[in-house]
Structure 1
Amino acid sequence: MSDLHVRAGSPADLDAVLAFWKIAAEGTSISDDTDGVARLVARDPESLLLAEQGGELVGTVIAGFDGWRCHLYRLAVHPGHRRQGIGGALLAAAEERFRALGGRRGDAMVLDRNEPAQHAWRAAGYAPEPQWSRWVKHLDG
């Protein structure tokens, strides 16, 4: 893993990221489109973190900070590169970013049905908070 490089994504990376999520991410989101990810990168250029190994995209995480809370989305590692520390490296980079911005608490969106992801999040020190229930409203109609 010595050649692993984590960097911020740019608008030039959007097509590759969207294609990557179709392979590596569990499920899809209504915001998994070029316009949605472009808005993210335009609003917060350092939020989309990409892990590359040998010039190949092998992992992603969105590390968004709204000035109050730190939010983690789309932690995904290519199936052929899992269990090599890539997810941990992405989370370490996200947490470093959050600390530099003054963030004090990170929360992650993890699908209930995705047990391997839950294991990875727990291994990184994250835990579900049973006292909270997530309420969602899709704003696209």
Structure 2
Amino acid sequence: MIRTHRPAGSLVIRTALAGEAAAIADLHVRARATYYPDGLPEDGLDWPALWRVAIERPDSHVLCGVRDGRLAAVASFRRDEGAPADSVKLFQFHVDPGHWRSGVGTSLHAACVEEWQADGVRTATLDVHVGNARAQAFYARQGWIPDPENPPAEDDHHLFLRYAVPGE
């Protein structure tokens, strides 16, 4: 089912379509490249194929923000294997750099929270690259806190955050 959220303005947040996987992967790469000072490292992954799998997975949610007919943001989440039934992991959350500080990310995050509330989720988790100060500040403004059950390892390049989903 395609759910659509219509925040104020020309932004529409809706379920992503499999045919958008390449455009989503392109946005993903552009957003990630901004926090690697030496350029995005080659990871050898076929991101369009991985996004298509995420979109088509029956247990996954992929939401995209579309402004004026163009992809502006994307979020992917699902229940993580072995995690409590009332929790979800936010695997990807990217805003096109051309839309930073325009409210797109905040609207997309609010749509994720609405989905989580509708699905009975109480806790969300994510990991964010230690070098991505912009994302860390964004998540802090949304109410995410360091995950006390998953402190960062000394040799890891990620911080683990937790979000208490407000009750409806």
Normalised-by-shorter TM-score class: 0.7 to 0.9
Deviations 1:86-125 (A, max 9, x none): 1111111111111111111011221111111100000011
Q: Which protein has the bigger strand share?
A: 2
Separation in 2, partners of 1:55, 1:25: 22
**Distance change (3 Å), C-alpha of 1:125 and 1:75:** same
Q: How many residues align?
A: 136
Does residue 126 in structure 1 map to residue 144 in structure 2? yes
Instruction: Give the match's secondary structure for 2:128.
Output: coil
1:71 aligns with 89
TM-score (norm 1): 0.83
Of structures 1 and 2, the one scoring higher in RCO (CA 8 A, sep 6+) is 1
**Distance change (3 Å), C-alpha of 1:30 and 1:65:** farther
Select between 68-77 and 102-111 the one with higher mean Cα deviation: 68-77
Instruction: Give the match's secondary structure for 2:139.
Output: helix
- Which residue identity does 1:75 align to in structure 2? F
Separation in 2, partners of 1:25, 1:81: 14
Q: Identity of aligned pairs, percent? A: 24
Larger radius of gyration: 2
**Distance change (3 Å), C-alpha of 1:116 and 1:6:** same
Structure 1 segments (4+ residues) deviating >6 Å:
none
1:110 aligns with 128
Q: Which protein has the bigger helix share?
A: 1
Instruction: Give the match's secondary structure for 1:12.
Output: helix
- Taking only aligned residues, the RMSD between alpha carbons, in angstroms, comes to 2.4
**Distance change (3 Å), C-alpha of 1:3 and 1:45:** farther
- Which residue identity does 1:42 align to in structure 2? E
Structure 2, gaps ≥5 residues long: 1-7, 34-39, 157-168
TM-score (norm 2): 0.71
Separation in 2, partners of 1:107, 1:32: 25
